[in-house]
Amino acid sequence: MHLDSSATLGGLLVHPVADFRSDTVTRPTPKMYAAMAGAELGDDVLGDDPTVQRLEALAAEMLGKEAGLFVASGTMGNLVAILTHTRPGDEVLLDRDSPFLEIAPLAAWGTEFGLGGGIISGIGVVSGVECVITANEPTMKGGTLNPYSLMKSARTMEICAQNRLPIINLTESGGADLPFQAQTFVPGGKEAQRTNQAETGRADRTNKENS
C-alpha cells in the first residue's frame, strides 16, 4: 500500500494516509509478494480458487451483501458498478472526469437496513455546476424509505444549505418501508417544519436589515 509522507496542517502533524486514487499508484510490499507466492491456487472461472472465495466472502460480510465479486482492476470494478445500474442507451448524469464525493456512505451500518440507508447522495459536477445529487436505491427493498433514509436526507439538505449548492433528486421509490413509516414520516415532518421556520426567520431578519 502506498502511503503519502507526513505533513503539517494548521500546526498539527497529519499522519500518512492511504492513496486510493488509482490501483496504479500502489505497489506490493515484500510481504505481499510472499503472500501471493504462497497462496492457494485454483481456477476462479470454475469457482474453485479458495483464496478468491475467501476474499469475496470477507467483502460480502463486511458490506452486508449476499455475495462478493473479485475483479482484476479498478477499471473492471467501475464497469461492473455502472452496468449494475444502467443499460445501453442510458445517460450518465455527471460531467466527464467529474469527482463524486459520497455523503454518509456508511449510514445504517450494522442495522437491519441496507448499507447507505437506501439512498445514494453525493457532490459532483453537472453541466459545469457543482451540485448535490441524491437518489433512492431501487435495488434495495424497492427504494423504500426508512429512518436512516430520513437522517441521511436531512444531513444532505443541511450540506446544501450551508454551501449554497443546488440539488438534483432522482426518485424511483416504493414510498415508506411500511413497518417503519411512523419512524420515518413523523420525524421527517418535524424536521421539515423546523427547517422552514428557520429559513422563514432568516428571511425576515434579512428583510428587516435591508429596510
CATH classification at residue 113: 3.90.226.10
* Euclidean distance between CA atoms 168 and 193, whole angstroms: 21
What is the average per-residue pLDDT within 131-151? 77
Is residue 112 situated within a structural domain? yes
Question: What's the number of domains the chain is made of?
Answer: 2
Co-location of 132 and 165 in the same domain: yes
pLDDT of 181 over the 80 cut: no
Q: Which grid cell is 159?
A: 450540506
pLDDT digits (tens, 9 = 90+) for 84-117: 877 776 667 888 888 888 898 888 788 877 778 7
What pLDDT band is residue 3 in, cutting at 50, 70 and 90? very low
Among 135, 136, 148, 140, residue whose Cα is nearest residue 187:
148
Residue, of 3 and 151, whose pLDDT is higher: 151
Model pTM above 0.75: no
Co-location of 61 and 112 in the same domain: no
Co-location of 75 and 159 in the same domain: no
Co-location of 81 and 106 in the same domain: no
Is residue 129 situated within a structural domain? yes
